[in-house]
Amino acid sequence: MQEHYPHPEMAEVQLPEVLHALSDPLRLRIVAALAAGEERGWGDFEAPVAPSTLSHHMKVLRQAGLVTHRREGTRCIVALRPEMEARFPGLLAAVLRLAPGQSAA
């Protein structure tokens, strides 16, 4: 059975929430890793935090409208929302290009 994670409608996604989500270095690393490739399993991110803290960061990204989550068996798969580029053209590319020292998470 696939568990549903609530995601905001793209029309409801607001710039302040997106920028807040991108303001944390770990969340920015997660977004950079997703932007550099395809979707990833939640546990595939190398994050120097407890699982509960990583879960919180993933929730912030999801609620801001940046990522989607879905279950595949026992795994949670995370991906960037492709609609983000249409909602805020060039935003993610600019933030990732200007972020100092970003490497894949």
Where is 20: in which H helix or E strand? helix 15-22
| Segment 27-67, tens digit of pLDDT | 999 999 999 888 898 888 888 888 889 889 999 999 999 99
Q: Report yes or no on 33 lying in a domain.
A: yes
103 pLDDT band, cuts 50/70/90, is very low
Give dist(CA 98, CA 2) in Å, integer. Answer: 37
CATH number, domain with residue 20: 1.10.10.10
Count of structural domains within the chain:
1
**23 in a domain, yes or no?**
yes
Q: Mind listing the pLDDT tens digit for each residue in 8-34?
A: 888 899 999 999 999 999 999 999 999
80, β-bridge pairs: 67
Segment 81-103 mean pLDDT: 87
pTM of the model: 0.86
Domain range for 41: 14-98
Relative to beta strand 67-72, strand 40-41 is unpaired
Helix (H) or strand (E) holding 77: strand 75-80
